[in-house]
Amino acid sequence: MLNFDPAHYLSVEQGAAQLADAIDEAVGREFERGLRNVAFWGVGGIAFLNMPAARLLQTSSPLPTYIDMGAEAILIDNVNVGPGSLVIFTSVSGTTKEAIAALEHARKKGARILTLVGTPDTPLAKLADITFCNRCADPTSSENFYLQTLFVALSILRRTTQFPQHQRVVAELKTLPKLLVGVKEQFEPRAAAFAEEIRDEQHHIITGSGGAWYEAWYYAMCILEEMQWIWTRPVHASDFFHGTLELLEADTSLWILKGEDAARPLAERVERFASTVSKKVRVFDSRDFDLPGLSPDVRALVSPIVFAAAFERLSSHLEKVRGHDLTIRRYYKKGDF
């Protein structure tokens, strides 16, 4: 596979999976301390990687769960966050200035802080009450943080609801790293062909629903826009019919990410309509990937992780065929703005 080290990738993702029990123990101690709510205060694209876990809690657990943009949380205070709150931050570098400011704001309000970082001995690691570090970088970080935040959510879920399948679900998730290597192998031929197909296309619409939506949003903003400077319109499948459909023409590029959770019909609806208009409807379905040993309910949980693993292959091939290295930036981290 192009620019891919299976052993390194497996090491990183297994590192994330191996944190499951330690994360569960840490969450248990927070309940002993009187945990009354959880807040995910994300900053930038990495915030999208928290969202499947956060939404799982919002829809499946009675424990109040809040989602705020870290930078905005300082300006528009969330009165629900304070003593008894656990505020969660994720960061590859551990140095994101907006995240550090939001963390300090949450601490002043009396909240406790849990950070998941990819770099040790950094401000976000040192300032937290609880921190877990699993070394990772951009090509491996999405799966890493999707998985770790999912462990946090599952730990809360089993303590706040009837969730007898917790042990089975976590056991299956621990097998995911090896399966993700298989996902990359399965997607490699399509990634190479698709990158060649779209190498000169400069405009795309990307949609999805449920957990898959967050990977659609992330890939549009953080890869196609930031790393390839391609104009991209991410739109949730439920909003597609409230404006975006009017942009469709015969040559409009539309990517549809179809996951396996209860929101899948929303993406299928977009596919049915869009296929009657555009000849460039590109469907990516997590059901197409062989994931031996995973039960249907676990497959539904990991759809965004599967897409993240697959699309990294596409990123590598886009980088090559477009002659645009993924690390090239015009403005990001090149000024104090």
User: To the nearest whole number, what is the mean pLDDT of the chain?
Assistant: 97
Closest by alpha carbon to 155, among 163, 137, 52? 163
pLDDT given at position 98? 94
Residue 273 CB coordination number (10 Å):
14
Give pLDDT tens digits for 56-88.
Answer: 999 999 999 999 999 999 999 999 999 999 999
Last residue of a domain, one of 147, 173, 199: 173
Residue 44 CB coordination number (10 Å):
17
Mean of the pLDDT values across residues 304-328? 97
Domain that holds residue 253: 179-322
Instruction: Identify the H or E element spanning 260.
Output: none
pLDDT given at position 334? 82
Residue 337 clears pLDDT 90, i.e. is over it? no
Q: How many domains does the chain have?
A: 2
Angle at 231 between CA 226 and CA 237, to 5 degrees: 100
Residue 332 clears pLDDT 90, i.e. is over it? no
What is the band of 267 on the pLDDT scale with cuts at 50, 70, 90? very high
Q: Is 203 helix (H, G, I), strand (E, B) or coil?
A: strand
Residue 145 clears pLDDT 90, i.e. is over it? yes
Residue 330 in domain: no
Instruction: Specify the amino acid at residue 294.
Output: L
Q: What is the model's pTM?
A: 0.97
Mean of the pLDDT values across residues 293-309? 98
One domain, residues 89 and 158: yes
pLDDT given at position 335? 78
Residue 26 clears pLDDT 90, i.e. is over it? yes
In sequence order, what are the residues at sequence separation of 6 or more whose Cβ sits closer than 8 angstroms to the Cβ of residue 173? 17, 20, 147, 150, 151, 298, 301, 302
User: How long, in residues, is the chain?
Assistant: 337
Supply the CATH number for residue 190's domain.
3.40.50.10490
Residue 133 CB coordination number (10 Å):
18
Residue 239 clears pLDDT 80, i.e. is over it? yes
Closest by alpha carbon to 281, among 304, 313, 250? 250
CA distance 185 to 178: 11
Give pLDDT tens digits for 88-108.
Answer: 999 999 999 999 999 999 999
The dihedral built from the CA positions of residue 207, 212, 214 and 216, taken in this order, carries a sign that is negative
Residue 331 in domain: no
Last residue of a domain, one of 173, 205, 237: 173
Last residue of a domain, one of 173, 203, 230: 173
Give pLDDT tens digits for 173-213.
Answer: 999 999 999 999 999 999 999 999 999 999 999 999 999 99
Cα–chain-centroid distance for residue 201? Answer: 25
CA distance 223 to 204: 13
Residue 336 clears pLDDT 80, i.e. is over it? no
One domain, residues 160 and 251: no
One domain, residues 128 and 261: no
One domain, residues 154 and 206: no
Residue 33 clears pLDDT 90, i.e. is over it? yes
**Sequence-ordered alpha helix ranges (H) in the chain:** 6-17, 20-32, 51-60, 70-75, 97-108, 123-126, 138-160, 166-173, 176-198, 211-218, 264-274, 296-322
